[in-house]
Structure 1
Amino acid sequence: MTSADASVFETTRPASADYLTRFAASDAGRDYKGRMLDALDLRAGLTVLDAGCGPGADLPALAEAVAPGGTVIGVDHDQEMLDAAAPTAAHPCVELRRGDIHALPLDDASVDRARTDRVMQWVDDPARALAEFHRVLRPGGRLVMGEPDWDTLAVDHPHPSLSRAYTRHITDQVIRNAAIGRQLARLATDAGFRVPEVIPATQVFRDVRAADRVFGFERTTRRAVEAGYLSEYQAAVWLHHLAHRPFFASATLYVVVAEA
């Protein structure tokens, strides 16, 4: 299939580091990341873990919040991401470590705060990852997680069945743990945390180009056709409307606060 309008939709996937960096700088990214930072309740001298730190977009704000005397530890399993984050590690209170979220390279009870941002949707075993967070946090420490619930993705279209098919393809085939946003409070409680707060952050998109930079409509629709969720004709109708008619989409991400 071909794009309905090449000037609207990206047809190739951006590099992972580029995608994460530009999303962090978007209005939607700044909104929920600000909520996460507030929920962490950081202060000078604390040790904070950014698990799945990616290219390091959030490390400077964390470093500023715990200075002077604090430490920020960025952990990621992908060396390419750590290389992209390396300039941030020049900050005196930031260090980077390569490691798996299922087996964090930290000692027991060694951090005061921990955060993970849109990482749990991809992990093999969320329960095991949460157990690791509980292990490395000091008693009374706080974990803040930001994760979407992909079932909440709603895109306006005169044929709602096409929108539902598109979302169903994402939840069935694209995202490993597509419902993790709604599950985290329960899973964190099972891992021994107390969960005092869950903060919904609903992101609304009125500009199709801005939304496409997050959702990749054309390339995701192409995959939906290949997987049998949409026909070629349905995909063309779907994309044409998104490209040429007033646009609306929304999705909810949950900021979950857990205390050890």
Structure 2
Amino acid sequence: MSMQHNTAQPASGTDRLIRLLDAADALPAAAALRARSYDLLQLTASCAVVDVGCGTGRAVAELAARGMRPIGVDRDERMIAVARARLRQADLRLGDAYQLPLPDGSVNGYRADKVLHELDDPSRALAEARRVLAPGSRIVLIGQDWDTIVIDSDDPALTRTIVHARADTIPAPRAARRYRNLLMEAGFLRPDVEVRTGVFTDAAMLPVLAGFADAARTTGAVTGDQADAWVTDQRRRAANDGLFLALPLFVASARRP
């Protein structure tokens, strides 16, 4: 999940992201969602599949364990370096979602997990997906809609403002709700969309929530005092086992003609 077409994060920021992703990916619900995405690819043994925005390679390892020939692609050099250290025999490549380092029609599956919302032009990435996929192959997309994150708080109106302000800092915050239409516009057949909702109630999510408030403060959507008060409320909730965040995740799949 780190395929970012804009400037790559500095190593320290990437390292923090890696720690967060490792913790999130270890959750049973996250593992189940990844497994569902692999099933939707409908691949047989030894098929080639590209995992775009592969990060540190967890999905690459899991696809290989299923007998596939996965190719991990990420534009963040630090992510690829960590992936190569963890998976010494894996096929991992630096590359961009808009210009994948793959020949035309060379893979039997395409997977992008929480990638399209990071792109200024998701349609361009899907055109590239169609280029590298062999006819009859399948594509699977996973991602959250940044406008539909549900957070319980003492001030719902302020929470709504913070969530929307954070969404507005994302290149394509509503890409996930557009998966079906984007796939059809790109010429893919019979797109289907499922929704899985992750529910988080522990203090491990506090850095994420604090990041939402910081983004809203930076954009001027809320004042510093409002942001601080909101984060204080979330910390109190976490201390009393009352934190609640629900994250709907959209899973779309389709076939290349």
TM-score normalised by length of structure 2? 0.87
1:83 to 1:234, Cα distance in 2 relative to 1, 3 A = same
CA distance in 2, matches of 1:191, 1:26: 33
CA distance in 2, matches of 1:222, 1:77: 26
Whether the aligned pair in 1 keeps the contact of 2:166 and 2:215 (CA below 8 Å) is: no
User: Secondary structure of 2:19's partner?
Assistant: helix
Whether the aligned pair in 1 keeps the contact of 2:48 and 2:109 (CA below 8 Å) is: yes
The answer as to 2:112 corresponding to 1:140 is: no
How many aligned positions are there? 240
Q: 1:182 aligns with which of 177, 185, 190?
A: 177
- CA positional deviation for 1:59: 1.1
- Partner AA of 1:16 in structure 2: L
Whether the aligned pair in 2 keeps the contact of 1:59 and 1:88 (CA below 8 Å) is: no
Summarize the alignment of residues 98-177 of structure 1 with structure 2, pairs less than 5 Å apart. 98-173=94-169, 175-177=170-172
Partner of 2:3: none
Summarize the alignment of residues 7-46 of structure 1 with structure 2, pairs less than 5 Å apart. 15-46=16-47
Unaligned runs of 5+ in 2: 1-11
Whether the aligned pair in 1 keeps the contact of 2:206 and 2:234 (CA below 8 Å) is: no
Q: 2:205 aligns with which of 196, 211, 215?
A: 211
Q: 2:74 aligns with which of 61, 66, 76?
A: 76
- CA positional deviation for 1:141: 0.2
Whether the aligned pair in 1 keeps the contact of 2:49 and 2:108 (CA below 8 Å) is: yes
Whether the aligned pair in 2 keeps the contact of 1:151 and 1:167 (CA below 8 Å) is: yes
Partner of 1:239: 231
- CA positional deviation for 1:196: 3.5
The Cα offsets for residues 45-96 of structure 1, whole Å up to 9 and x where unpaired, read as 211111111111211110011x2xx4211111122111111135433xx311
CA distance in 2, matches of 1:144, 1:249: 25
Q: 1:201 aligns with which of 196, 199, 219?
A: 196
- Partner AA of 2:220 in structure 1: G
TM-score normalised by length of structure 1? 0.86
CA distance in 2, matches of 1:187, 1:241: 38
User: Secondary structure of 1:53's partner?
Assistant: coil
- CA positional deviation for 1:125: 1.5
1:21 to 1:227, Cα distance in 2 relative to 1, 3 A = same
CA distance in 2, matches of 1:63, 1:230: 46
- CA positional deviation for 1:185: 1.0
The Cα offsets for residues 96-142 of structure 1, whole Å up to 9 and x where unpaired, read as 12111101111111111110111111123211110011011111100
Partner of 2:85: 87
Partner of 1:62: 63
CA distance in 1, matches of 2:56, 2:65: 17
- Partner AA of 2:56 in structure 1: P
The answer as to 2:191 corresponding to 1:191 is: no
Unaligned runs of 5+ in 1: 1-11
CA distance in 2, matches of 1:251, 1:81: 24
Partner of 2:4: none
Deviates more, 1:239-248 or 1:154-163: 239-248
- CA positional deviation for 1:210: 2.8
- CA positional deviation for 1:28: 4.2
Q: Percent identity?
A: 35
- CA positional deviation for 1:204: 1.2
Q: Which one scores higher on RCO, CA 8 angstroms, separation ≥ 6?
A: 1
Superposition RMSD on alpha carbons, in Å? 1.8
Whether the aligned pair in 2 keeps the contact of 1:112 and 1:137 (CA below 8 Å) is: yes
